[in-house]
């Protein structure tokens, strides 16, 4: 971790000397003009150096308490640090003091969205606050791809997919070279079931940003929905090269390999997933159980399926536990036959989803 004072001193003076401390940074700041400090603070914010950015904006405010640029920068830096209450209050103060500043309302809308994402159940109302702030920004002349994209993301979070698609299409038309706008549009198209369009959109995102593991992961997942497992494997292998320790990417790669009947490779992917995230991607245990069944390792299949039911309360997990018990077909040390345990697992599956046909058919099969 960088020491904030040393980092500031190095940035401001352009020299690295490990012995420098707080006094060096303070002295360097004092020698800089307000416009320079605002520029450097903005640069630090772009680099997500939140603490250092906030410190510089605070120094400007101590010089000029009414400097709205510094107050806005401080608010955004606080939000970046996760200090949403104080940060949003600062940004709201800017909009109250300068209601003609359209960009201040855009910054406030973004802060509302970030607070929502920190706790969706707690801060659900912030999505409407964000839309209200964007509407206010537009009444004051704000019209840009960034504004359209932000509106699209907020609407997406509200499950208003048709409206989100319209906003994001506008963003991609206004600035067609920004990969993030295409990625967001692709996700909305997937939600609307327009998978072919989503693939085209996400391919565009990958072409604009080929080193983005996120874009390739999304494209690979879209290919999976189309049943194009080989294309999915290709994109997801690229994604794991770029982000080898992201459990979500490895999980999707495992799914793609499984669909392509690359069972040993799929096993490797799912084993990595549960090593990285033992509980967050519990369906990986279900896939491992199915792989063990395919390999006729019935004891292991029961073990993996049982792990899945520890973390998942859904029909599929219990169905595959039932299948594992039925395939093993023995009697455990507790004296209960596997056939009885299989029946209980299938019944449990139907408790979670009474329409789950595989479990119902399994109960009807002798």
Among residues 86, 113, 133, the one where a domain terminates is 133
pTM, two decimals, is 0.83
Grouping H, G, I as helix, E, B as strand and the rest as coil, residue 331 is strand
Q: Count of CB atoms within 10 A of residue 74's CB? A: 26
Summarize pLDDT for 51-78 with one digit per residue, the tens: 999 999 999 999 999 999 999 999 999 9
Report, as an integer, the average pLDDT of 342-366: 94
Look at residue 13 in the predicted model and tell me its pLDDT: 46
Query: In DSSP terms, which residues pair with 331 in a beta bridge?
Result: 337
The set of residues, in sequence order, having a beta carbon less than 8 Å from that of 365 and lying 6+ positions away, is: none
Q: Is 343 within the bounds of a domain?
A: yes
Grouping H, G, I as helix, E, B as strand and the rest as coil, residue 337 is strand
Look at residue 25 in the predicted model and tell me its pLDDT: 60
CATH number at residue 328: 1.25.40.10
Binned at pLDDT 50, 70 and 90, residue 142 comes out as confident
Binned at pLDDT 50, 70 and 90, residue 143 comes out as confident
Share of the chain above pLDDT 70, in %: 92
Number of structural domains in the chain: 2
Binned at pLDDT 50, 70 and 90, residue 331 comes out as confident
Look at residue 12 in the predicted model and tell me its pLDDT: 55
Q: Is 197 within the bounds of a domain?
A: no
Share of the chain above pLDDT 90, in %: 86
Q: Is 289 within the bounds of a domain?
A: yes
Specify the range with the lowest mean pLDDT, choosing from 27-41, 65-79, 287-301, 313-327: 27-41
Look at residue 66 in the predicted model and tell me its pLDDT: 92
Does 173 score more than 90 pLDDT?
A: yes
Grouping H, G, I as helix, E, B as strand and the rest as coil, residue 17 is coil
Look at residue 333 in the predicted model and tell me its pLDDT: 67
Provide the mean pLDDT of the chain.
91
Separation in Å, CA 20 to CA 6, 7, 28, 58, 81 = 6, 10, 11, 21, 25
Separation in Å, CA 218 to CA 134, 190, 256, 301 = 28, 10, 12, 30
Does 5 score more than 50 pLDDT?
A: no
Rounded distance, CA 329 to CA 184, Å?
48
Binned at pLDDT 50, 70 and 90, residue 330 comes out as confident
Rounded distance, CA 136 to CA 130, Å?
10
Look at residue 335 in the predicted model and tell me its pLDDT: 75
Among residues 118, 133, 148, the one where a domain terminates is 133
Q: Is 25 within the bounds of a domain?
A: no
Q: Is 319 within the bounds of a domain?
A: yes
Look at residue 332 in the predicted model and tell me its pLDDT: 66
Q: Is 92 within the bounds of a domain?
A: yes
Look at residue 53 in the predicted model and tell me its pLDDT: 92
The set of residues, in sequence order, having a beta carbon less than 8 Å from that of 43 and lying 6+ positions away, is: none
Rounded distance, CA 128 to CA 143, Å?
19
Does 21 score more than 80 pLDDT?
A: no
Binned at pLDDT 50, 70 and 90, residue 29 comes out as confident
> What residue numbers bound the domain in which 109 lies?
32-133
Q: Residue written as tokens 């295409």?
A: 182
Q: Is 359 within the bounds of a domain?
A: yes
- Structure token digits, residue 314: 């859904």
Rounded distance, CA 298 to CA 296, Å?
5
Q: Is 316 within the bounds of a domain?
A: yes
Among residues 133, 148, 183, the one where a domain terminates is 133
Look at residue 126 in the predicted model and tell me its pLDDT: 97
Report, as an integer, the average pLDDT of 166-194: 97
């Amino acid at each position: 971790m960088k020491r904030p004072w040393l980092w500031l001193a190095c940035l401001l003076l352009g020299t690295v000397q490990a012995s420098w401390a707080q006094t060096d940074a303070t002295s360097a700041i004092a020698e800089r003009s307000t416009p320079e400090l605002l520029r450097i603070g903005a640069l630090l914010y772009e680099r997500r150096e939140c603490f250092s950015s906030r410190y510089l904006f605070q120094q400007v405010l101590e010089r000029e308490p009414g400097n709205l640029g510094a107050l806005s920068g401080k608010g955004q830096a606080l939000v970046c640090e996760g200090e949403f209450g104080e940060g949003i209050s600062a940004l709201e103060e800017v909009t109250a003091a300068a209601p003609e500043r359209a960009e201040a309302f855009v910054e406030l809308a973004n802060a509302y969205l970030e607070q929502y994402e920190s706790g969706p159940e707690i801060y659900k109302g912030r999505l409407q606050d964000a839309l209200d702030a964007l509407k206010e920004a537009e009444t004051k002349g704000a019209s840009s791809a960034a504004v359209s994209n932000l509106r699209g993301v907020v609407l997406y979070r509200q499950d208003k997919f048709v409206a989100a698609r319209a906003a994001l299409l506008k963003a991609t038309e206004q600035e067609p070279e920004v990969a993030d706008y295409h990625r967001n549009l692709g996700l909305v198209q997937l939600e609307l079931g327009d998978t072919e369009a989503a693939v085209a959109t996400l391919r565009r995102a990958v072409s604009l940003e080929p080193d983005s593991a996120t874009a390739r992961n999304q494209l690979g997942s879209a290919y999976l929905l189309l049943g194009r497992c080989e294309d999915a494997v290709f994109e997801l292998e690229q994604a794991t090269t770029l982000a080898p320790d992201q459990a979500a990417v490895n999980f999707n790669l495992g799914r793609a390999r499984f669909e392509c009947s690359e069972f040993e490779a799929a096993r490797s992917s799912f084993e990595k997933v549960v090593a990285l995230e033992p509980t967050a991607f519990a369906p990986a245990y279900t896939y491992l159980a199915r792989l063990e069944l395919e390999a006729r390792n019935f004891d292991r299949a029961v073990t993996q399926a049982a792990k899945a039911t520890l973390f998942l309360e859904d029909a599929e997990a219990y169905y595959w536990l039932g299948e594992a018990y039925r395939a093993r077909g023995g009697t455990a040390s507790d004296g209960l036959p596997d056939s009885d345990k299989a029946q209980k697992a299938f019944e449990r599956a139907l408790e979670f989803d009474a329409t789950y046909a595989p479990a119902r058919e399994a109960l009807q099969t002798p």
